Structure 1
Amino acid sequence: MTASTFRFEGPSIEQTTVEAALSPFRAAALRHGNLTTTVPRELVHRAAVAEVMLTDWKRLADAHFAMTAQWPRGHSFFTPVDGVHHDPLIAAETIRQIGALLAHAEFGVPFGHQFLLEELTLTVHPEQLRIGQTPAALDIDVTCKEVRKRAGRLTGLAYETTVLREGRPAASGRISFSAIAPAVYRRLRPERVFSAGHRPIPLTAPVAPQSVGRLSPADVVLSPTGDPNRWQLRVDTRHPVLFDHQVDHVPGMVLLEAARQAATAVLGRSSILPLGLECEFKKYAELDLPCLIDGLRLPKAAPGDPDTVLVTGHQDGEPVFSTMVTAALGD
């Protein structure tokens, strides 16, 4: 699969000929075909290559793309659910990475622009999330449903994805986001976030990891408040995955993880397998203000329906995000 518009300048024919004669990898490629690599980490807003899920992409039509990705059998943060299934949030992260790649590589958004996640929906098929003997190789169909531009420059994008594993649907999702130029971003954000003294709130104590489906306290993003089904968001900017690089706000994936952990606690289980997420992001979550997380178990329409938990986040009394978490029934 060949990317259509974003490629680095390659060596000359003379250089290629000499290097091919010297390189053992060239012979391997000729024997086995193209070798798999990840896309450039900068295109998906990751600092660590290990956190890049996408491996290639191709434009099929103006608003239609084919992509490939890989999920590892084990991951330091997206750990297997019940020891059997890939973590559905790795699917959410994979779909998120698609938007950044398309914005930069296909729609010409310069590096340095900021992205504001607006909506994210995800549905997974557990039978296709089972961990096998090799990493999960994925084909992803991507259709852009809304391309917003101003003066010829992309200002927003909404796209839908279907993630296939061996030809069978493993997940599907939709994301919409805005792309914000640096000068505009500066006007939108509080002036304090650009000061040298801007610091996150002090790190708070985690709830018990087993109460929110985690093994390590370092991966817990909720702190107790003393009120049932209410927590304070625990912001650890040293976390190597959730805070992969320096930011001036709480990343959307941290809020998704908070929703998953809150739903786990509300349902009173050791872990849950999310079947679906419906998320709306109202505004940036600030690093230097407490963010309160509330979880509410919703009534079922019929016996045997999956469990559903509504999770909301507020700062200074204003809504930051809301997520509907649909979870597979527990044992």
Structure 2
Amino acid sequence: MPASPAPDAGRPRGGLVSADDAAALAGLLSTWRTVDRRLVHKAALAEVLITDLRPLADDLVALAAQWPRRHPLFQPEPDRDPDPLLFVETLRQGGIYLSHEHLGVPLGSHFVFESISAEYLHPGPRPGPDQDGTVVLVVRIDAGRRAGAVAGASLDIEAWSGAVRIATARAAYRCLPPEVYARVRPPAAAAPAIPLPRTSAEPPDPAALLPVDSRHPTFFDHAVDHLPGMLLIDGALRAARPLLGEEAFPWGFDLRFDRFAELGHDTTVATRRVADGGIEVVLAQPAGAVARGTVRSYADVSSSVPSAVRAAGRS
């Protein structure tokens, strides 16, 4: 069972780089082409965001990503802010890429995310003729090893657009060799009953079914034996964020994953307002909760904003 995040898992540890250094990194990192799609676990070239990595120290790296001008999920309309899920996908790809390229995790390894938390300080760039779509991730890595091999890592992440810090995040994941993953997910248990499309443009009700479409080009970019974590995060944010106010900045979420979400099983999304004004979200299947967490707005209650988040917003 994945471990629960630490009590401050939703709070960044403070600035990793200055605004001037972040802007300088954007000029040092290449954005001419994307990295090998295998190293971010994507099948379609159009889904790859990461373009480069530069080590800054043994436990600190910078990555460049190119956010798309148009994307059916992340940027459906060029004159609107990017979908919040775009930052999550950028950090997901960045974490996997640095694990392969910087930490030496072999291709074929499986990544099991245990928790992700993020704070959105700024909507981020709207790529176009007048605005660069380059986003720089600065990542501090705390890697765990077993018998000399990387077994997982915790990441502290900052995302920058030029000299503007647009988001911070923390993530924890395990790296499983194929033979270990096969024991965790034996073929008989993981054999999927492919769900039929069940989509809706409306956000879920307080307790509703998670829309699942196994033909979705982003969530189901490649074959999987469980519902992707990105789909669960998307369901949680779409359920909770409208209850906070779509334009609220800064805002954030913290989610932990309790178990694999099985294909072919209905997944419910339930929301509940908690005492501090946040929205608790629980995604569950018949066997129990698969993911849970809280989505919060810091826009109207400055005293509830972690000091590191307030400082980041001023950069």
Q: Deviations over 1:22-75 (max 9, x none)?
A: xxxxxxxxxxx9771111111111111221111111112111111111212322
Match for residue 259 of structure 2? 283
Instruction: State which of 131, 146, 151 in structure 2 corresponds to 1:155.
Output: 151
Cα deviation, residue 326, structure 1: 2.5
Give 1:173 deviation, angstroms: 0.8
Contact 1:119 1:175 in 2 (8 A): yes
Q: Distance in 2 between matches of 1:328 and 1:79?
A: 24
Distance 2:70 2:121 in 1: 19
Poorly superposed stretches of 4+, deviation over 4 Å: 80-83, 127-132, 264-267, 271-274, 327-330
Q: How does 1:41-190 map to 2 (within 5 A)?
A: 41-79=37-75, 83-126=79-122, 128-129=124-125, 133-144=130-141, 146-190=142-186
Q: 2: distance between equivalents of 1:96 and 1:35?
A: 18
Matched residue type, 2:259: K
- In structure 1, distance between residues paired with 2:276 and 2:258: 27
2:194 matched to which residue of 1? 200
Quick one: structure 1 residues 296 and 139, their matched pair in 2 at CA, closer, same or farther if it must change by over 3 Å? Answer: same
Q: Which residue in 2 is equivalent to 1:238?
A: 215
1:81-108 Cα offsets, whole Å, 9 max, x none, are 8953222211111011111111111222
The 3 A distance-change label for structure 1 pair 297 and 105 is same
Distance 1:300 1:187 in 2: 41
- Kept in 1, the 8 Å contact 2:30–2:51? The answer is no
Matches of 1:273 and 1:177, distance apart in 2: 29
Q: CA deviation at 1:130?
A: 5.5
Matched, 1:298 2:274: yes
Q: Which amino acid in 2 is paired with 1:255? A: L
Distance 1:192 1:127, change over 3 A: closer
Matches within 5 A, 1:291-330: 291-300=267-276, 308-327=278-297
How much does 1:203 deviate?
Answer: 3.5
Unaligned residue ranges in structure 1 (runs of 5+): 1-32, 213-221, 223-227, 302-307
| In 2, Cα distance between equivalents of 1:165 and 1:150 | 36
Matched to 1:147, the amino acid is A
- Rounded to whole Å, the distance in 2 between the matches of 1:276 and 1:182 is 34
CA distance in 1, matches of 2:140, 2:158: 9
**Equivalent pairs: percent with the same residue?**
32
| 2:239 is the alignment partner of 1:262 | yes
Q: TM-score with structure 1 length normalisation?
A: 0.74
- 1:328–1:85: structure 2 CA closer, same or farther, 3 Å change rule? farther
Shift in Å, 1:329: 6.8
**RMSD of aligned C-alpha atoms?**
2.7
- SS across alignment from 1:288: coil
Describe the SS at the equivalent of 2:183. Answer: helix
What whole-Å deviation, never above 9, does each CA across 1:80-137 have from its counterpart, x for those lacking one? 6895322221111101111111111122222211111111111122264566633422
Instruction: Say whether residues 1:253 and 2:249 are aligned partners.
Output: no
The count of aligned residue pairs is 270
TM-score normalized with structure 2 length: 0.77
